[in-house]
Amino acid sequence: MDEQQLSDNAYAVQMNPETCTSFDMEKMHFVEGDTDSAYWAVSGSSEAGYLQQFDYVIKDKQFYDDNAKYFFPTIEGNLMDEKKILGLAIENEGTEMIALAPKNYYIKVGEKEKIKLKGISQSTNHITKQNIIDNINSGTITKAVNMRLGQKNYIMSKIATEKNGITGIHTKAIVLRDQSCCPYILGLKASDYSFDSVID
């Protein structure tokens, strides 16, 4: 970890990827993220269940034990500890995740399914995992209707706004069967790409 003092009580801290080797990155795959979150697929132990966090991908246990307290919450249920600057908090752990774009994903947490679609009301629209799969496989656009109250000339009205709930996103790559990523091009699906398997 590199740090630089900016003032009496402020430091700039940066993780150096060449020296930060605590996790086995062969067992971790970045799924999606935005400015304040990241979702990772972690290949740990199949016998430990899905609530194992990073326990089975730690390479340097001593380094991890010495430094995890600076990033991960250490006090159960303490919001200030969970939201510390440069801190990491595990929001969800599940067995399956499909991400179309940041803040647009499906995740299976235990026996429950969680679907997050930015700007779409989940209470008035029935969007399922199958809708997301259909969009990936065949480009199917799923419409959604958001209801809101609006006032004009002292008259309150219920306003319905139709949106594309699930649609192709230009900022996301298409992930092929071998986990390689190809650029999203309007009209092309994963089945339109071909690849040759390389055996080492």
Q: How confident is the model at residue 18 (pLDDT cuts 50, 70, 90)?
A: low
pLDDT tens column, 131-166: 888 888 888 888 888 888 888 899 999 988 888 888
In the chain, the percentage of residues whose pLDDT exceeds 90 is 2
Q: Residue 185: pLDDT above 80?
A: no
- The ranges assigned to domains in the chain are 1-93
Instruction: Tell me the pTM.
Output: 0.61
Residue 48 confidence (pLDDT): 85
Q: How confident is the model at residue 75 (pLDDT cuts 50, 70, 90)?
A: low
3-state secondary structure the chain: CEEEEEECCEEEEECCCCCCCCECHHHEEEEEEECCEEEEEECCCCCCCCCCCCCCCECCHHHHHHHHHHCCCCCCCCHHHHCCCCCCCCCCCCCEEEEEECCEEEEEECCEEEEEECCCCCCCCCCCHHHHHHHHHHCCCEEEEEEEEEEECCEEEEEEEEEEEECCCCCCCEECCCCCEECCCCCCCHHHCCCCCCCC
pLDDT tens column, 91-114: 788 888 888 877 788 889 888 888
Q: Residue 127: pLDDT above 60?
A: yes
Residue 39 confidence (pLDDT): 83
